[in-house]
Structure 1
Amino acid sequence: MINIEEQRVALSDIGEEMLNLCQSQVQHAFEAFTIFDTDLAEEVILKENRINALDLKIERDTDNFIALYNPVATDLRFALALLKINYNLERIGDQAYDIANHTIDLNQKLAPELIEKLQFKTMFKTLDSMFKDIVSAYTDENLKAARKVFKKDKVINEINNNTFNIVAEEVVKNPELIRQYLMALVVMKKFEKIGDLLKNISESIIYYIDAKVLKHKGKK
């Protein structure tokens, strides 16, 4: 049987694979929706099976790690954090899958002015930056990178909060685009949810590195 350190490294590697795959899925889902690429949307849908398989493997391997090695202190915190990270990554994969399906259901290219006014590109760039911070925090145990995610999530929330009022005004001006605007509202909410899930992942990484559970901090 391999030692606990080797097993922990193996678990960390598969967690990083899951993280990179989910980042790619979100990127492709965004591209598919904003430029109306149904082939790319289909690719995202097909890769959902890979995410589900990795999710089950990480959960199974982490459970075995805890059962076989009876980890304590840092090793136990790592295992618990990885389970939470994996749970949130699987949900991110679900959001990307849904966006890809919405792309196919909409079956038309978004009007350029809609993409600009709803700040789709700004929202995605912020999400992509959050992913990069998460990767750095996870692979390098970088607390500073993990904490950057919280401020960036506020940008995502602000964009999403403004979306409804923008759509309400624009639908009156361009009623022929009502289907696009309604679908855009749904997809923007999906991106906002991805931001929340990335924030959850950041909390789990900080818990592992610094033994802090941030979600209870404000209750003290």
Structure 2
Amino acid sequence: MIHLDKELEQLKKTTINMWVLVESQIEKAYQALINDDNDLAREVISNEKRVNSMELKIDSDCEDIFALYNPVAGDLRTVLATLKINNNLERIGDLAEGICKHIISESNAFDAELLKATEIHEMYEAAIGIMEDVLKAYIDEDTKLARTIFKKDEILNEINMMATQNIKEYIGSDLSKIEQGLNFLSIIRKLERVGDQLTNIAEEIIFSHEAKVLKHL
């Protein structure tokens, strides 16, 4: 195996490690939300430093590959795609951190009725499932699986679109519910953006292996 192949293999391993960390951040944010676990939420916020550190390492590794090996064709696409995937993963980490900040800002646990009315459980289940599918597509270099992500992301979009109306109905005439409702709406918006980042990653997987640019189509 030539040196460049070894470097690309190591780059992929590091990116997978970053992925596992970020997915753990999203899952912990969900557990913190449903269990009103502020300590777990603080752990997610603290771990964001690890996410940022890994992002910088992957960026540096990509820069080294450009400088030392001058990759072309498929190898070049792999490194370019990795840079963008790395950026999207870091943004997902930011969103997990943001969700946890909303959790901590609430003095009381989020109302179980609110969680049910907004379908947050279904939304989180879909988001985590999509993340696992995108990771499998990345590991297996499976562009067919990557293409299924666009349809799956519609679940997150639909729940997000209904969130404002659902929360409005939840608040009703009880003004004491307004602050928590608005705070929860921000959490839903962030979770929907997680889906956006994952579809971006799916596009990069397709670009890397098929040289097809799907962005803005």
TM-score normalised according to structure 1 size: 0.95
Q: Residue 194 of structure 2 aligns with which residue?
A: 194
1:7 Cα deviation from its structure 2 partner: 0.6
**Is the CA contact (8 Å cut-off) linking 1:48 and 1:97 kept in structure 2?**
yes
1:63-91 superposed Cα distances (whole Å, 9 cap, x missing partner): 11011001111110000000000011111
1:8 maps to which residue? 8
- Rounded Cα–Cα distance in structure 1 between residues aligned with 2:174 and 2:113: 11
* Aligned counterpart, 1:68: 68
Q: CA deviation at 1:174?
A: 3.7
- 1:146-165 alignment, distance < 5 Å: 146-165=146-165
Distance in 2 separating the partners of 1:213 and 1:107: 46
Q: Give the aligned length.
A: 216
8 Å CA contact retained: 1:35, 1:110: no
Equivalent residue letter for 1:135: L
Whole-angstrom distance in 2 between the partners of 1:203 and 1:142: 12
2:100 aligned partner: 100
SS at structure 1 position matched to 2:212: coil
Could you tell me which amino acid in structure 1 is paired with residue 115 of structure 2? Answer: I
The secondary structure found in structure 2 opposite 1:168 is helix
Report the AA paired with residue 213 of structure 2. Answer: V
Letter in 2 for 1:82: T
- Describe how 1:129-208 pairs up with structure 2 within 5 A: 129-208=129-208
SS at 1:215's partner residue? Answer: coil
Per-residue deviation, residues 131-163 of structure 1 (Å, max 9, x unmatched): 111111110101122112101111101100001
Write the distance in 1 (CA, Å) between the matches of 2:171 and 2:201: 36
The residue that corresponds to 2:21 in the other structure is 21
Matched letter for residue 15 of structure 1: T
1:89–1:197 contact (8 Å) kept in structure 2? yes
Deviates more, 1:84-93 or 1:207-216: 207-216
Contact 2:131-2:198 at 8 Å conserved across structures: yes
TM-score (norm 2): 0.96
Distance across 2 between alignment mates of 1:34 and 1:209 = 39
Structure 1 vs Structure 2: percent identity of aligned residues?
Answer: 41
Runs of 4+ with >4 A deviation: none
- In the alignment, residue 120 of structure 1 is paired with which amino acid? I
User: Match for residue 30 of structure 1?
Assistant: 30
The answer to whether the 8 A contact 2:133-2:145 is kept is yes
Q: Is the 8 A contact 1:171 1:177 kept in 2?
A: yes
In 1, are the aligned partners of 2:81 and 2:208 still within 8 Å (CA)?
Answer: yes
Any idea what SS the aligned residue of 2:71 has? coil
Structure 1: runs of 5+ lacking an equivalent: none
Secondary structure of 2:150's partner?
helix
CA shift for structure 1 position 111: 1.0
Q: Distance in 1 between matches of 2:186 and 2:215?
A: 27
How many angstroms does 1:180 deviate by?
A: 1.5
Shift of 1:173: 4.4
Q: Mark the runs of 5 or more structure 2 residues left unpaired by the alignment.
A: none
Q: Distance in 2 between matches of 1:152 and 1:128?
A: 11
Match of 1:49 in 2: 49
CA distance in 2, matches of 1:134, 1:174: 41
TM-fit CA distance, 1:215: 1.6
